[in-house]
């Protein structure tokens, strides 16, 4: 705890910057990995809806942006 209090402001900002960089890299990797499994993730989200839909019916989006939220 003593070392933490003795750091100068620029050292604190450098630590903050490195934390931000690691966070952005981890978030980017997470997005890239999840994008590879987008179909499986979408099917997992829609599985309960498909189970309650009547036979011979389809899922329809009535506006363009609705499809981007789920597919």
Dump pLDDT digits (tens) for 18-60.
999 999 999 999 999 998 888 888 888 888 888 888 888 877 7
Report pTM: 0.56
Query: For the residues 7-12, what does the mean pLDDT come to?
Result: 84
Residues 49 and 63 in one domain: yes
Residues 32 and 42 in one domain: no
pLDDT at residue 52, as a whole number: 86
**What stretch of H or E contains 14?**
helix 9-36
- Residues 59, 51: Cα–Cα separation, whole Å: 12
Residues 50 and 22 in one domain: no
- Does 3 score more than 70 pLDDT? no
Range of the domain at 7: 1-36
Residues with Cβ within 8 Å of 53's Cβ and at least 6 positions away in sequence, in order, are 59
Query: For the residues 53-69, what does the mean pLDDT come to?
Result: 75
């Amino acid at each position: 705890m003593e070392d933490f209090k003795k750091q100068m402001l620029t050292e604190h900002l450098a630590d903050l910057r490195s934390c931000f960089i690691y966070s952005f890299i981890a978030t980017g990797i997470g997005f890239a990995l999840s994008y590879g499994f987008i179909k499986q993730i979408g099917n997992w989200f829609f599985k309960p809806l498909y189970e309650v839909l009547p036979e011979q019916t389809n899922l329809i989006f009535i506006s363009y942006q609705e499809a981007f939220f789920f597919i």
